[in-house]
């Protein structure tokens, strides 16, 4: 089968299409004929070598397609069934065939959902629900601030917050061109990230936000902490800016009644596959019913390097997916 591999860590140019053996599912697994593979910031990090994996490595943490074969001890899934799936525990989504745990699969039968959209759900939409529900433990009416609100995961977090009962939902973006896009994803307020410190009081009536989700890092991490209300929670879930880590003073948290938590979908899916699968199926249902809007742009698999370049430029909005069979 064809797959895009990372033969050596480096820039986007290291990605190359190669031939691999078709993987077979083991106990509790299924193999999937991939129609589309989501392209994410996560694969850029794998490609750069931020995550130490044996090489060559086929990246790709999510796919849509049809079940090809079902391993022993799998119930409720059958060959030919349309599915969306997380392939985040072992990677391998940029391929014609991928194997993953049956726990991390969402059936699509009977749903009004294209396979291109379905490929964009497993990572970002599932993460959005889990970050707010499990890490931030959102309560009805709470205010939420999300950074990079027009991006892949940012576009899903505001909508998931609303579905989970949030009150006002605000987003930040890096530049004015993305303000309209973020608003289109349902954010009540959208501000430039650089202007956030001056805007928090007006946005929250002087109280601060109950929840701030930061996947940008660097200066945004410090302003996120400052923007929290008493008993507020900052969720750290990425470092898209590539800045050095930002230290947080435990004493500051103590004196100001603030909390900081982290969320990582790969580690969560490895530790709690059944919970990750439930959140995936919830996200799929929300997208199919129209409660969750996704914006998808398609590129062919052999343009994976171009997808990575665009993601690294920070200029994309919504989600890029790589087409294998359309
Ligand atoms: N922890 C998890 O489980 C998990 C799951 C999904 C995603 N993530 C993380 O969330 C972040 C966003 O992922 P995504 O898939 O949504 O990617 P994305 O759509 O490409 O969003 C990244 C956004 O970050 C902002 N950004 C700020 N500085 C940047 C820089 N130097 N280079 C590139 N982008 C920069 C840009 O938005 P502005 O123009 O608005 O600044 C950019 O659009 C990544 O850090 C990713 O690792 C984590």
Note down pLDDT in tens along the chain; length 326 residues: 999 999 999 999 999 999 999 999 999 999 999 999 999 999 999 999 998 889 999 999 999 999 999 999 999 999 999 999 999 998 899 999 999 999 999 999 999 999 999 999 999 999 999 999 999 999 999 999 999 999 999 999 999 999 999 999 999 999 999 999 999 999 999 999 999 999 999 999 999 999 999 999 999 999 999 999 999 999 999 999 999 999 999 999 999 999 999 999 999 999 999 999 999 999 999 999 999 999 999 999 999 999 999 999 998 999 999 999 74
| 189 shares a domain with 133 | yes
Residue 281 lies in a domain: no
**Residue having the nearest C-alpha atom to atom 37 of ligand 1:** 148
For ligand 1, whether the C-beta of 153 sits within 6 Å is: yes
| 227 shares a domain with 205 | yes
| 304 shares a domain with 186 | no
What's the CATH number where 311 sits? 3.90.180.10
| 157 shares a domain with 260 | yes
Those residues whose C-beta lies under 8 Å from the C-beta of residue 153, and which sit 6 or more positions away, are: 123, 124, 127, 128, 215, 237, 238
| 144 shares a domain with 55 | no
Residue 272 lies in a domain: no
Those residues whose C-beta lies under 8 Å from the C-beta of residue 104, and which sit 6 or more positions away, are: 85, 86, 87, 88, 89, 122, 269, 273, 276, 277, 280
Residue 280 lies in a domain: no
| 171 shares a domain with 56 | no
Residue 6 DSSP one-character state: B
For ligand 1, whether the C-beta of 174 sits within 6 Å is: yes
Ligand 1 centroid – CA 153 distance (Å): 7
| 45 shares a domain with 85 | yes
For ligand 1, whether the C-beta of 123 sits within 6 Å is: yes
| Domain edge (last residue) among 264, 280, 308 | 264
Overall number of domains in the chain: 2
For ligand 1, whether the C-beta of 209 sits within 6 Å is: no
Atom of ligand 1 nearest to the CA of 149: 40
Those residues whose C-beta lies under 8 Å from the C-beta of residue 175, and which sit 6 or more positions away, are: 192
| 258 shares a domain with 181 | yes
Residue 139 lies in a domain: yes
For ligand 1, whether the C-beta of 156 sits within 6 Å is: no
| 257 shares a domain with 128 | yes
CA–CA distance, 326 with 168 (Å, rounded to integer): 38
* Residue range(s) defining the domain that contains residue 155: 124-264
| 114 shares a domain with 37 | yes
For ligand 1, whether the C-beta of 41 sits within 6 Å is: yes
Residue 47 lies in a domain: yes
Residue 275 lies in a domain: no
| 146 shares a domain with 38 | no
| 138 shares a domain with 106 | no
What's the CATH number where 160 sits? 3.40.50.720
Ligand 1 centroid – CA 308 distance (Å): 12
Per-residue pLDDT at 326: 47
Atom of ligand 1 nearest to the CA of 42: 47
Ligand 1 centroid – CA 151 distance (Å): 6
For ligand 1, whether the C-beta of 173 sits within 6 Å is: yes
Residue 233 lies in a domain: yes
How far is CA 321 from each of CA 77, 186, 210, rounded to the nearest angstrom? 24, 22, 33
Residue 285 lies in a domain: no
């Amino acid at each position: 089968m064809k797959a895009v591999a990372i033969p050596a860590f480096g820039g986007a140019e290291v990605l190359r299409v190669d031939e691999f053996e078709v993987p077979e599912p083991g106990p509790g697994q299924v193999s999937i004929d991939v129609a589309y593979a989501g392209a994410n910031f996560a694969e850029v990090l794998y490609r750069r070598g931020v995550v130490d994996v044996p090489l060559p490595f086929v990246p790709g943490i999510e796919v849509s397609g049809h079940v090809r074969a079902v391993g022993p001890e799998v119930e409720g899934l059958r060959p030919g069934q349309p599915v969306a799936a997380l392939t985040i525990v072992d990677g391998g989504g940029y391929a014609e065939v991928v194997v993953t745990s049956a726990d991390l699969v969402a059936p699509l039968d009977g749903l009004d959902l294209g396979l291109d959209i379905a490929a964009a759900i497993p990572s970002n939409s599932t993460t959005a629900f889990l970050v707010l529900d499990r890490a931030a433990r959102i309560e009805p009416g709470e205010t939420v601030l999300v950074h990079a609100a027009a991006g892949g995961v940012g576009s899903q977090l505001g909508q998931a917050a609303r579905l989970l009962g949030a009150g006002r939902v605000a987003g930040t973006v890096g530049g004015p061109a993305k303000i309209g896009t973020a608003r289109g994803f349902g954010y009540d307020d959208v501000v430039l990230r650089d202007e956030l410190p001056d805007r928090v009081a007006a946005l929250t009536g002087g109280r601060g936000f109950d929840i701030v989700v930061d996947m940008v890092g660097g200066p945004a991490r410090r302003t996120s902490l400052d923007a929290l209300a008493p008993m507020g929670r900052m969720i750290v879930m990425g470092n898209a800016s590539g800045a050095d880590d930002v230290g947080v003073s435990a004493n500051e948290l103590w004196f100001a009644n603030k909390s900081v938590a982290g969320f990582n979908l790969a580690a969560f899916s490895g530790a709690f596959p059944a919970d990750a699968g439930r959140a995936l199926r919830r996200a799929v249902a929300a997208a199919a019913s129209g409660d969750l809007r996704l914006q998808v742009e398609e590129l062919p698999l052999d343009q994976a390097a171009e997808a990575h370049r665009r993601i690294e430029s920070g200029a994309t909005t919504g989600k890029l997916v790589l087409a294998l069979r359309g």
